[in-house]
Structure 1
Amino acid sequence: MQSEHITGLTAHQVEENRLKYGENIITPPPRRPAWKLFLEKFRDPLIIILLIAGVLSVGISCYEYWGLHEGATVFFEPVGIFAAILLATGLAFYFEQKADKEFAILNKVNDDELVQVIREGNPTMVTKREVVYGDIVVITTGMEIPADGQLLEAVSLNIDESTLTGEPMAHKTTVEADFDPDATFPSDHAMRGTKVMEGHGVMRVTAVGDHTENGKVFEAARIDDHIKTPLDEQFDKLGRLITRCAYAVAVAIVIGRVVMYVTSTPFEWMSFMAYLLQTFMIAVTLVVVSVPEGLPMAVTLALAYSMRRMLKTNNLVRKLHACETMGATTVICTDKTGTLTQNQMRVSAMKISDTIPHDLLVEGIAANSTAELDLSGEKPSVIGNPTEGALLLWLHDQGADYRKIRDSLTTIDELPFTTERKYMATAVSNASGRRMLYVKGAPEIVFGMSDDACGTSRAEIDRELLEFQNQGMRTLGFACKPLDDGEDPVKDGKIVANGLTFMGIASISDPIRPDVADAVKDVNNAGINVKIVTGDTPATAREIGRQIGIWTDTDSAEAIITGQEFEALDDEQLLQRVEGLKIIARARPMDKKRLVEALQSKGEVVAVTGDGTNDAPALKAAQVGLSMGDGTSVAKEASDITIIDNSFSSIGKAVMWGRSLYRNIQRFILFQMTVNIVACLIVLCGAFMGMQSPLTVTQMLWVNLIMDTFAAMALASLPPTPSVMHDAPRDRREFIITRPMRRFIIGTGGLFFAVLLAFLYYLKHTDLTSLTQIGHLPIHNDTGLSAYELSVFFTTFVFLQFWNMFNARAFETGRSAFHFKDCEGFVAIAVMILIGQVMIVNVGDELFNVVPLHISDWVIIILSTSSVLWIGELLRWWERRLS
């Protein structure tokens, strides 16, 4: 059928089909309102606990204000809790919204590109979105196919289907005998989003918009089955632990105090009810004190800090949780083209007979080619067939200008490549009148046409071809012949000239990126398995696997599978084989998603890389989806992180950041829980001893500010540690508070409590006016606490926690707490806390219930409490010596 005889749709049919089949637009995912996205931040289990604690704190404050007629300062505690909640949720919301805006800039979609269609017998230009079902679309080299369609004409038509199948080149034809039975999509169909690399044709549109294969994959990627991240699971456990412990101790306080009252005091209803109300107040206070207000904010700050810093390593993070989840990754499922490879065919070997002049080979490659090079950018890019383009790139690397060579020649005759012939030929003459015929094609065909093999046997050719094919490479053979005057080398669509000389063969492949092998080695050393999922052939995929180091000679056939074999496995068979699989070749769009889900069911934490529309379902299903910066908009929309520079090494950096981030969160929990244990024990001790808390509400607010906000910022800003890449991935079932952390928290918290309780007892039974008097004053009966003694106790409490912050920073790093390289933020915040405490004590007066201290007092407190750090340093030195 010829395009000039095709009339196409009428204007009425266009409108009718648009109403019936819809517009040629892939419906974007619905954007949820900002208020809904903000409210989702309150689903965090620790935020929920904080909300409950805040409500209880409001109740206590209201009773104290209106029932006990205390000052307005009683409302500082609930205000502090709700401020912490809003700060944590607000920061998370702000940073995700900012990342989305950056992502929108990166991910522009243009449905207004013009395409040529035939309507009412006339060629006309319409935008891509205006193409309708039944339209006749004219296909030309370089265009992106606007919709799915069946070919009516196809002339030397080759289409890049990598966005849908991962396969960079698919030959298209309308001749049924030449159909590829192994092709993912029929050989006479062109699919939306694929790109025409060479040739031209005409197609009738059979599907538009969401009904195209591209649209169906995008629809599958929209299904957002929320998968809990490892950090979500850890915080669920931590939240349950804190809640159970707090309520258990609160109940114990109520029961214990009631028993104490009944056994020691004559029962009287009014007195008992007042005592019971006070007991409930103490129990609720303990619940409020035990909740780590700063933890959600610490996590948010750590994630946000990592998000901003990861952008400098070419990782654009769209979802905060993805920062940390990368650190828990145990398996990376990656595509091949564009991620592991350069997505540009290059000559890997050129084996030409020594008897062939180099100039003759160069002229033959330049003349006998339909490809072009775009030399306007920083590096040359291919226009046309990638395989032929690889030969031109080879010429460019040799310093030869193919355009000058072509301009110096006159084409006499040419024979385009077809799948039937498996070769192409061009006859040319130069300025001096010399006439040459150049042939290029399948090596076995070209060799068979040649009379002179230049001393090369067919066995040698076959051996070299087998070697290249086993490495997944494409091969081309070259031949040439000087033509006599008047000799016609081509007749009836084939070469009729005799006396061809076989020049040699070239092997062509899509080379791996220079940094990939080292990057894969790094993630393998970190205990992360890498699996390749590609639409390419098993031989090519296996060779790429060998080059990057995931395929070895000891691997059996069980480690590689084709898409058809993969689809044939039932769920039980898949679960038995999934962890042993290293490569899926000839994969189909939903194969990678099924692989991800099978790995997750085995307890793996899966990250997926991809740049094509076919990768979108798997990107969405994985715990972390990693799209490439030059990937399709569908892939990027489905991902959590976009690798801007397309480099696999950037993925390794994301893993390092994620693991370091988790360590920083653990350090903050270590620090925060130590403070909480001390505070809870003081409340608990006071409940059974009739002793009120020596820290006022405003003092506790400052302590919370130090221990929550400032400490969160200090520990969240710690830089990543490269040494984490030598560790195995953590077990996602392992509790976030590890055994060494438990020992530290209980040991340090218990020690602090014992020291503070003993110090408090001493202060209550002496009349201390200067710390230089310690050890020289007699111990009396309970004399209460003066303003000076309360100031000393408050400052001592703060500095014990201050020095412990350094211990938390150095926890399990194998380094000294005085290692400050790249820790400017931590040092600045430590100085801020130090200055802040001095200022509050010196000018806080009645608001903080303090009086100024002497210089000697400051020196004694700072030096004595610093023993916390020196003991920690001694223990760390001993551990390093033992290891």
Structure 2
Amino acid sequence: MNNITHPKGLTDNQVEQSRLQHGMNILTPPEKTPLWRQFLDKFSDPLIIILCVAGILSIGISIYEYTMLDEGPGVFFEPVGIFIAIILATGLAFFFEVKANREFALLNQVNDDEPVQVIRNGSATTVPRKEVVVGDIVILNTGEEIPADGILLEAVSMNVDESTLTGEPVAHKTTDPAQFDKDATFPSDHVMRGTKVMEGHGMMEVCAVGDHTENGRVFVASQIDNSVKTPLNEQLDGLGKLITRVSYTIASLVVIGRTIMYFTSLTADFEWIHFIAYLLQTFMIAVTLVVVAVPEGLPMAVTLSLAYSMRRMLRTNNLVRKMHACETMGATTVICTDKTGTLTQNRMQVADITFFGLGEKRFATDALSLIREGIAVNSTALLDMSEPQTPKVLGNPTEGALLLWLNKAGIDFTQIKESMRVIAEIPFSTERKFMATLVENPSGERMLHVKGAPEIVYDMCTDYPLTATPDNVKHILSEYQNHAMRTLAFACAKVADGANPIDGTRLDTSGLTFLGVVAIADPVRTDVPDAVSDVIRAGIQIKIVTGDTPATAKEIGRQIGLWQSSDNESNIITGPEFEQLSDEELRRRVKSLKIIARARPLDKKRLVEALQANNEVVAVTGDGTNDAPALKSAHVGLSMGDGTSVAKEASDITIVDNSFSSIGRAVMWGRSLYRNIQRFVMFQMTVNIVACLIVLSGAFMGLQSPLTVTQMLWVNLIMDTFAAMALASLPPSASVMDEAPRRRTAFIINRAMWQSIISTGLLFFIFLFGLMWYMEHIDIDSLTDILHAGFIPDNKGLDPYELSLFFTTFVFLQFWNMFNARAFATGRSALHMKGCGGFIAIAGAIFAGQILIIEIGGQFFNVVPLKLTDWVIIITTTSSVLWIGELIRLFHSKKHN
């Protein structure tokens, strides 16, 4: 398109018509879910549903007991306790997610009122960005964000940072078709909303606004919710189904057993009324058993674990927006990461310098000063020195790296530049690949400085230092380029008075002396190689998706330890090649891919979907608008702290410090969290198995139930809640990073847990059933009498003192087993309590709580105070659970060493 020198712009009437036809220049925000709906969504959890059903059944049982059996109001404590557990579990999840969303919203505020320069009614003016319309003529200057998609009318030395859409930090823009880059993602005369003018200036005509821009289309795509189920949800679904099947099976057996016992013990004529009453009571016991079997502490444990991890992960620079993302990170099998800012520092720096002739006499006094002078005067970049300790580059990041190098050496480039008088200059262009500036210093001496592509600048020169041979220079450049560095060469010439080597865009290169080469790179973050090593060791694949060239991407992959010498072309692909693959071909090849170079905006989303089709759990990092669809589609989306608002809105976690190391820590937290949930499941299932077996065996043997409703309230609610808090608050363990990712189809209870649950549960049941049966046939006033008490052949029942002994023994068996659960899969002693202050405090509360209940609970808990000797015997005897566990752990640790 031809340049337009004096555009008139739109009239006010045309602006209104355009706005009516094409809309406002704003991105339509995603529809927010109402708070009431967010709260109700918490009840969709399968365990919460089971718990609600159990609570309703429990209310029915309590009403029957209160009205038909003349029980006291204490029968309502258990259903009240169950619904308290439901409210706490759902309420905590709702509270923490709403709180995180509000904190997250502070990171996503978009200022649509930012002023934009436009030409309207024949003159320049400023309007808020949201009021820009299709057809507007927008003036673009260095450092400004482009407000809408447009076609350039003018472009003077314009380079645009398109990294938020394509990953390309410097895209040259021009209106000259001869200079168009055929390989560019977007045409060289097009600029896109959300990108930034890094240098130069220009003018554009707006062709799309708001949702119709490239930025807007990506944003709309990012709002597509695949509703991918998390691994934890799937595994809790499985656990819920197991609990349902087992509890109903045991309940059915109780009904069958009591029915058989009724008929076998029948001594008089059969009466339907008595049988129906007995059968109704049997069904009440069976339903009660279902209530007992449901681990009401599990939803609490899951929620507390997630909430605790959510808060603690923020301290490790992970702001969690969606609570499930904490755990899902632990199940991740693939991380798709961008390069700039995550693996690298996003800060171009001088990596190496090779200046020739510094040892030669003709350069001994002024060669270095000539180099410094050339950098200072032959640059379009600037440094923002508002914070002297951390100067920021304004303009071309490559030229800015040279200025940072000078600044680091204590040289103020502005003083050098201001001391010179610029006589003539040739700006850089992709066609010329060099820039030149003719200056005059304060003493009146003229100097020509040239900077550009080494092969161009070297051929321009007529004078070379002794070591600047073609082979030597070629070798140096090859080394730099093999390490994915950008290179710039410098040359200068002393110009006689009156001579002018610059004529328009033509340069007289006679007398030009080659000075040397600078290598510039975006360094890999120092912590990234170790972090990548940890993630790979944890069995997680890493795939780099970047807009850089294949050579640069491979070199970065090599530096971080991802790209190995054994890798080949099958492990890397470019965006255009990626697009040509069919879905089936991509699914077959995706596992071996390590790098996608020259990636396009939606390539990462397609990569995520292909990985998910292969049953992988995928986490994605991204900071640009182009990353939003992939962030939304992934199981976990990880946006960067300085990323675009669109990317953050689409993500589940924001990495505040942009570092890949924080991602590794998130994986560690996720795996540790899942392990904590497993510990609680193991502990809780052991308690419930013991309780169920005691009720079941009593049904077949006609023995008295040793636990009252209020006692079960302590065991099934208070102790469950305390145990959930204790096990949920355990700190993360770095050892989980030595394990492979768990299969998402794996059941939450693994083989080791089953062995512990069944063996411990059976041992506890045998011990407790034997104790119950024995106390049914003896009469004692203290445990010191238990071995020589007289045997009573008939079942006499348990008196309040014996019930108190049994209840306390039951609780302390579980209390010591909680320590074994804490040590599960740690490879350490249960008494290793570093960082477990919360666990110790809660264990102390359970210990003290049981003593208080027995000593002052009275009729409310159907207990009487115990003697001191009884307390000593119970605590000492039941502690053998812990010591046996310690011996088993010691045996296993020696076996594996």
Matching residue's letter, 2:720: D
* Number of equivalent positions: 883
Pairs within 5 Å for 1:713-752: 713-752=725-764
**Mean Cα deviation higher: 790-799 or 414-423:** 414-423
Match of 2:121 in 1: 120
The answer to whether structure 1 residue 412 and structure 2 residue 423 are counterparts is yes
The answer to whether structure 1 residue 326 and structure 2 residue 338 are counterparts is no
Residue 2 of structure 1: how far off its partner (Å): 5.4
Residue 812 of structure 1: how far off its partner (Å): 1.6
Match of 2:892 in 1: 879
Match of 1:836 in 2: 849
The answer to whether structure 1 residue 851 and structure 2 residue 851 are counterparts is no
The answer to whether structure 1 residue 608 and structure 2 residue 620 are counterparts is yes
Residue 690 of structure 1: how far off its partner (Å): 2.3
Structure 1: 5+ residue runs without aligned partners? none
For the Cα contact (< 8 Å) 2:253–2:696, is it kept in 1? no
Matching residue's letter, 1:431: P
For the Cα contact (< 8 Å) 1:472–1:537, is it kept in 2? no
Matching residue's letter, 1:414: E
Match of 1:360 in 2: 370
Counterpart Cα distance in 2 of 1:250 and 1:841: 30
The answer to whether structure 1 residue 346 and structure 2 residue 358 are counterparts is no
**Mean Cα deviation higher: 783-792 or 185-194:** 783-792
The answer to whether structure 1 residue 196 and structure 2 residue 208 are counterparts is no
Match of 1:861 in 2: 874
Give the TM-score taking structure 2 as reference length. Answer: 0.97
Match of 1:234 in 2: 235
Residue 629 of structure 1: how far off its partner (Å): 0.3
Counterpart Cα distance in 2 of 1:810 and 1:751: 19
Match of 1:293 in 2: 296
Give the TM-score taking structure 1 as reference length. Answer: 0.99
SS of equivalent residue, structure 1 residue 100: helix
Match of 2:508 in 1: 496
Match of 1:568 in 2: 580
Counterpart Cα distance in 2 of 1:594 and 1:669: 37
SS of equivalent residue, structure 1 residue 794: helix
The answer to whether structure 1 residue 592 and structure 2 residue 595 are counterparts is no
Counterpart among 476, 485, 490 of residue 464 in structure 1 = 476
For the Cα contact (< 8 Å) 1:154–1:199, is it kept in 2? yes
The answer to whether structure 1 residue 509 and structure 2 residue 510 are counterparts is no
Residue 572 of structure 1: how far off its partner (Å): 1.2
Counterpart Cα distance in 2 of 1:774 and 1:688: 26
**Mean Cα deviation higher: 489-498 or 846-855:** 489-498
Match of 1:438 in 2: 449
Match of 1:13 in 2: 14
Matching residue's letter, 2:369: D
Counterpart Cα distance in 2 of 1:393 and 1:772: 83
Residue 492 of structure 1: how far off its partner (Å): 2.8
Matching residue's letter, 2:74: T
Counterpart Cα distance in 2 of 1:617 and 1:383: 30
SS of equivalent residue, structure 2 residue 647: helix
Counterpart Cα distance in 2 of 1:691 and 1:770: 22
Residue 721 of structure 1: how far off its partner (Å): 0.7
Residue 354 of structure 1: how far off its partner (Å): 2.8
The answer to whether structure 1 residue 311 and structure 2 residue 324 are counterparts is no
Matching residue's letter, 2:708: T
Residue 106 of structure 1: how far off its partner (Å): 2.0
For the Cα contact (< 8 Å) 1:629–1:645, is it kept in 2? yes
Match of 1:557 in 2: 569
SS of equivalent residue, structure 1 residue 579: coil
Counterpart Cα distance in 2 of 1:463 and 1:783: 99
Counterpart among 364, 371, 374 of residue 381 in structure 2 = 371
Residue 4 of structure 1: how far off its partner (Å): 5.0
Counterpart Cα distance in 2 of 1:692 and 1:93: 42
**Mean Cα deviation higher: 521-530 or 289-298:** 521-530
Counterpart Cα distance in 2 of 1:14 and 1:135: 8
For the Cα contact (< 8 Å) 1:409–1:431, is it kept in 2? yes
Residue 460 of structure 1: how far off its partner (Å): 3.2
**Mean Cα deviation higher: 199-208 or 371-380:** 371-380
Match of 1:482 in 2: 494
Residue 260 of structure 1: how far off its partner (Å): 4.1
Matching residue's letter, 1:257: R
The answer to whether structure 1 residue 337 and structure 2 residue 340 are counterparts is yes
For the Cα contact (< 8 Å) 2:573–2:597, is it kept in 1? yes
Counterpart Cα distance in 1 of 2:92 and 2:188: 52
Residue 387 of structure 1: how far off its partner (Å): 1.0
SS of equivalent residue, structure 2 residue 590: helix
Matching residue's letter, 2:455: E
SS of equivalent residue, structure 2 residue 168: coil
For the Cα contact (< 8 Å) 2:349–2:405, is it kept in 1? yes
Match of 2:140 in 1: 139
Counterpart among 408, 421, 433 of residue 432 in structure 2 = 421
After TM superposition, where is structure 1 displaced by more than 4 Å over at least 4 residues in a row? Answer: 1-4
Matching residue's letter, 1:782: N
Counterpart among 683, 693, 698 of residue 681 in structure 1 = 693
Counterpart among 791, 804, 820 of residue 791 in structure 1 = 804
Match of 2:646 in 1: 634
Root-mean-square deviation (Å): 1.3
Counterpart Cα distance in 1 of 2:240 and 2:509: 83
Residue 341 of structure 1: how far off its partner (Å): 1.0
Match of 1:800 in 2: 813
Counterpart Cα distance in 2 of 1:424 and 1:200: 17
Counterpart Cα distance in 2 of 1:806 and 1:127: 62
Counterpart Cα distance in 2 of 1:238 and 1:176: 64
The answer to whether structure 1 residue 695 and structure 2 residue 707 are counterparts is yes
Matching residue's letter, 1:493: T
SS of equivalent residue, structure 2 residue 591: helix
Counterpart Cα distance in 1 of 2:331 and 2:23: 43
Counterpart among 361, 371, 392 of residue 381 in structure 1 = 392
The answer to whether structure 1 residue 277 and structure 2 residue 275 are counterparts is no
Matching residue's letter, 2:834: K
SS of equivalent residue, structure 1 residue 451: coil
Counterpart Cα distance in 2 of 1:405 and 1:488: 22
Counterpart Cα distance in 1 of 2:164 and 2:83: 48
For the Cα contact (< 8 Å) 2:317–2:655, is it kept in 1? yes
Structure 2: 5+ residue runs without aligned partners? none
Residues 405, 216 of structure 1: CA spacing in aligned structure 2 closer, same or farther, 3 A cutoff? same
Matching residue's letter, 2:386: S
Residue 36 of structure 1: how far off its partner (Å): 0.4
SS of equivalent residue, structure 1 residue 580: coil
Deviation sequence 1:193-243 (CA, Å, 0-9, x none): 001000000101111000101111111110111111110111011011111
For the Cα contact (< 8 Å) 1:490–1:497, is it kept in 2? no
Counterpart Cα distance in 2 of 1:612 and 1:497: 43
Residue 508 of structure 1: how far off its partner (Å): 1.5
**Mean Cα deviation higher: 7-16 or 102-111:** 102-111
Match of 2:23 in 1: 22
Matching residue's letter, 2:152: L
Residue 497 of structure 1: how far off its partner (Å): 4.5
How many percent identity over aligned positions? Answer: 67
SS of equivalent residue, structure 2 residue 346: coil
Counterpart Cα distance in 1 of 2:644 and 2:588: 33
Match of 2:208 in 1: 207
For the Cα contact (< 8 Å) 1:24–1:209, is it kept in 2? yes
Deviation sequence 1:251-299 (CA, Å, 0-9, x none): 2222343344445534322122112212211211111111000000001
For the Cα contact (< 8 Å) 1:144–1:193, is it kept in 2? yes
For the Cα contact (< 8 Å) 1:424–1:441, is it kept in 2? yes
Counterpart Cα distance in 1 of 2:181 and 2:497: 41
Matching residue's letter, 1:370: T
